[in-house]
Amino acid sequence: MGLTNFPGGLTSMGVPVIGSQGFMTQGNSFFVNPNGGADGNTGKVANKPLDTVSAALGKCTADQNDVVYFMSGGNASAECTDYQTANLDWNKDITHLIGINSGSLMSQRSRIAWASTASATSDTVLFTVSANGCKFENMQWYCGIDDANLSFNVNVTGSRNHFVNCHFGGIGHATNDAAGAYSLLVQGSENVFDSCVIGIDTIARGTAANSEILLSGGATYGGARNIFRNCYIITYAEAATHQFVSKAASGIDRFVLFDNCVFINSILSGGSTMSEAIDVTAGGSPNGFLVFKDCAFFGVTDIEAAAVSGEVYLLGHTAVAADNSLGAVTAAA
């Protein structure tokens, strides 16, 4: 008996598995390939895939660990991208999306992006995760289109989701440098982001009030205990007022942890040094802490600028100016 059996899905000794960590599932598997797939197929076998993620999601049943495998159909963008003309809401609990590609850290060849024909008359998010308990791996979401109303990349409103080796690429067009734009908005709780890239460093941003990560909209226990581990937050600021992370009033409860993350603003490529890495609107209820453990910041003057919130903590950070590294951040001298 062989160790793998592709005709009925990806299995090991007859047990379906997903992702690099061998996550087992009792649910169904569906395959998507935007380069040669067809939504008229069943999608249940790899050689007869569906064309779109939405069609695959429509076949899934919530709460049984169904899996959608997004297969790279080539290296060119048109061969590996599921293009959207409206918001795609991942809305089925315990349903997973796995990219089948090289597993590169940036610009994975299993992508979801706006179609060139997409347009909107009001602010519209590319991809929403409203479901709970889902796993996403080896995926890229890319928001780069000449429409200011389509400047909002991924919004995670659900909880206990796990993102592994994903790239959240927002503000990918000059027009997307719009007020409130983001690569990633987190509103749900207890989500984990492992080895992800958040941001783009090829399109200048920051002339409007926007950020790579936005923490906002927390109700009681909302926005609580989200964890970013070994992530890279990248940007290319053209204004000192841009930030890596922006936290709105009532944006989080309890804490949000950034563990061993690197924040890079590409100033050596012509970008502007940012005044602060983190922008915090203090107060409100609920309220919580931003904790940065063993993190590094490049291309920024201060962690927080002169208006210090007292809600940001740095652990294992080399002291700079008046920053005491172990408590609430103070303004740099």
Query: What's the pLDDT tens digit per position in 180-226?
Result: 999 999 999 999 999 999 999 999 999 999 999 999 865 445 578 99
Same domain, yes or no: 129 and 91: no
User: Does the residue 183 lie in any domain?
Assistant: yes
User: Does the residue 114 lie in any domain?
Assistant: no
Model confidence pLDDT, tens digit, residues 116-163: 999 999 999 999 999 999 999 999 999 999 999 999 999 999 999 999
Q: Residue 21 pLDDT > 60, yes or no?
A: no
Cα separation, 85 vs 155, whole angstroms: 17
Q: Which two structure tokens, joined as six digits, stand for 252?
A: 């989080």
Asked, as a colleague might, if the bond just before 7 is cis with ω within 30 of 0, I would say: no
Q: Nearest-CA neighbor of 51 among 70, 65, 67? A: 70
Q: Residue 15 pLDDT > 60, yes or no?
A: no
CB-CB contact of 305 with 333 (8 Å): no
Question: Which amino acid type is present at position 171?
Answer: I
Same domain, yes or no: 53 and 149: no
User: Does the residue 113 lie in any domain?
Assistant: no
User: Does the residue 108 lie in any domain?
Assistant: no
Q: Residue 282 pLDDT > 90, yes or no?
A: no
What is the pLDDT at residue 316?
80
H/E segment holding residue 167: strand 167-169
Same domain, yes or no: 302 and 228: yes
Same domain, yes or no: 157 and 286: yes
Same domain, yes or no: 21 and 74: yes
Rg of the chain taking only CA atoms, in angstroms = 20
Measured between its terminal Cα atoms, the distance across the chain in Å is 68
Domain span including residue 326 = 119-333
User: Does the residue 109 lie in any domain?
Assistant: no
Same domain, yes or no: 130 and 271: yes
Same domain, yes or no: 44 and 164: no
Same domain, yes or no: 134 and 191: yes
User: Does the residue 106 lie in any domain?
Assistant: no
Q: Nearest-CA neighbor of 317 among 274, 186, 332, 265? A: 332
User: What's the whole-number mean pLDDT along residues 68-91?
Assistant: 96
Same domain, yes or no: 316 and 200: yes
pLDDT band at 16, cuts 50/70/90? low
Q: Which residues contact 120 (CB under 8 A, 6 or more apart)?
A: 147, 149, 150
H/E segment holding residue 135: strand 135-137
Expressed in percent and rounded to 5, the helix, strand and coil fractions of the chain are 5, 35, 55
User: Does the residue 281 lie in any domain?
Assistant: yes
Domain boundary residue, one of 100, 129, 148: 100
Length of the chain: 333
User: What's the whole-number mean pLDDT along residues 296-307?
Assistant: 84
Q: How many domains does the chain have?
A: 2
What is the pLDDT at residue 321?
40
Cα separation, 277 vs 48, whole angstroms: 47
Same domain, yes or no: 178 and 323: yes
Cα separation, 274 vs 302, whole angstroms: 8
* Helix, strand or coil, per DSSP, at residue 123: coil
Same domain, yes or no: 30 and 156: no
User: Does the residue 87 lie in any domain?
Assistant: yes
Q: Which two structure tokens, joined as six digits, stand for 322?
A: 């008046």
Same domain, yes or no: 213 and 322: yes
Domain boundary residue, one of 65, 100, 135: 100
What is the pLDDT at residue 319?
46
